[in-house]
Amino acid sequence: MDLPPVGLGTMGIEDEAVVRTAIDCGYRHLDTAQIYDNESTVGAGIAAADTDRADLTVATKLWIDALEATAVRPATEASLDRLGLDAVDLLYVHRPRGDYDPETTLPAVEAVREAGLTAHVGLSNFDPDQLVDAREFLDKIAAHQVEFHPLFWRESLFTDAQKHDYPLVAYAPLAGGRVFEEPTILNIAAQHETTPAAVSIAWVTSYENVVTIPKASSRSHLEANLAAADLELTDAEIARIEAIEREEELFPE
């Protein structure tokens, strides 16, 4: 998939006006999920915006209680009903847990794609071995959404995305705000006369095949996150951030 460097992560967004504002600011990739309980909000924001639906990439995710083979299609249709859309552009398996079984779940998701309810099938929070298994049952992994920020990222997942040429969609690029206190990030931000948020987003998007979906609510933060992808870090700065001691992930299984 050809995804823009910065999209909108909507977890926790409960106001459709935020989604509409994001679209007005230039966001073209909108990411939600069944477990976020805000698909209706995202759909209302899309409907209220002046941008054509065809210009947007809308993604949602099947939660772990919707992954039994017979549940996949009705769960997808329920998401579409809440979104007010005939189809999404990207449908993820949110986590390989609960009712997930690659031999039954993934063919059911492929059937949903073939029926035209989604254009692409993605995965989220898979480990390398699970990606190998998934390839046996998917026509193509269109994207893999994972936690990826200066304080936590898994090289094995990054390598898989590069090897198989699909976008890695980085969520939580600001590490839940922890990057605002990281000395290396603060130092680089000062050198560029910008914010730690901008440095973190610029670092994530500096890698080929990696895009990100930070959450923001105010117009100023929405605009700043979009602009951050244009910040050019030096190779030395990228290496300094790579060398930060990694911490525990924010969203373990």
Residues forming the active site: 36
Yes or no: say if 66 and 92 are a contact pair by the CB < 8 Å rule: no
Q: Is beta strand 57-62 parallel, antiparallel or unpaired with respect to 210-212?
A: unpaired
Nearest to residue 203, comparing CAs of 176, 249, 155, 236?
236
**Furthest CA-CA distance within the chain:** 55
Six token digits for residue 223: 């605009």
Q: How far is CA 47 from CA 19, 37, 52, 169, in A?
A: 10, 18, 9, 25
Cα–Cα distances (Å) from 231 to 29, 158, 206, 227, 234, in that order, read 20, 21, 9, 7, 10
Collapsing DSSP to helix, strand or coil, 57 comes out as: strand
Nearest alpha carbon to residue 60 among 37, 100, 1:
37
3-state secondary structure of 126: coil
**What's the chain's length in residues?**
253
